[in-house]
Amino acid sequence: MRCFAGVAFWLAVLPPVAFATPVDLAAAEAQFKKSCGTCHVAAPEAGPRQGPNLFGVIGRAAGKVESFKYSPAFVVGGSGLVWDEATLDQWLADPQSVIPGSVMLYKQADPDKRRLVIEYLKTRR
Ligand code: HEC
């Protein structure tokens, strides 16, 4: 009985502890490939697909991949915008709310999936 009480105690305290653990990077990479991989790579020296290469995107100003032809709206609306966790999160939830007229055809309503993708991009720089 004593032992059982011990287990019950740990089960009771574990959820908040588990919540604070770092994200599963394998899951983060899988989420990126699934959600973004059709249109983006995030690798040094790789060329663009339908969208620009996202290697090093966190901390970079918007619209700065030389080899990619951004939409005109992007060039105007992206000026002064720097990609960080907050701007990326909003972009992935609704790109056109960040840069009206931009042409990325993707939206992710699930904050956990957006977080996974952002965590993956943090490792790609
Ligand atoms: C259907 C294709 C498509 C998908 C899927 C897609 N994107 Fe994009 N993305 C684009 C295009 C096209 C642009 C350029 C938009 C423009 O020029 O208006 C872009 C632009 C971006 C930019 C701006 C980059 C820069 O250099 O400023 C970021 C950041 C980005 N996408 C992240 C993502 C992430 C992360 C995912 C997955 C969660 C994703 N995108 C899914 C097509 C896509």
Query: Residue 116 has what pLDDT?
Result: 96
Give CA–CA dist 65/61, Å, rounded. Answer: 10
Look at residue 4 and tell me if it is in a domain. Answer: no
Query: Residue 79 has what pLDDT?
Result: 80
Q: What is the pTM of this model?
A: 0.86
From 68, 106, 121, the mutation candidate for ligand 1 (largest count of ligand atoms within 8 A of CB) is 106
Look at residue 65 and tell me if it is in a domain. Answer: yes
* Domain span at 105: 22-122
CATH of the domain at 26: 1.10.760.10
Query: Residue 42 has what pLDDT?
Result: 97
Query: Residue 6 has what pLDDT?
Result: 57
Look at residue 10 and tell me if it is in a domain. Answer: no
Measured from CB, residues less than 6 Å from any atom of ligand 1 are 35-36, 38-40, 50-52, 54, 57, 62-65, 70-71, 73-74, 83, 88, 91-92, 102-106, 108, 117
Count of domains observed in the chain:
1
Q: What is the mean pLDDT of each run of 10 residues along the chain (125 residues)?
A: 56 53 89 97 90 96 93 86 97 96 96 96 95
Query: Residue 13 has what pLDDT?
Result: 54
**The token pair that represents 54 in the structure block:** 């996202």
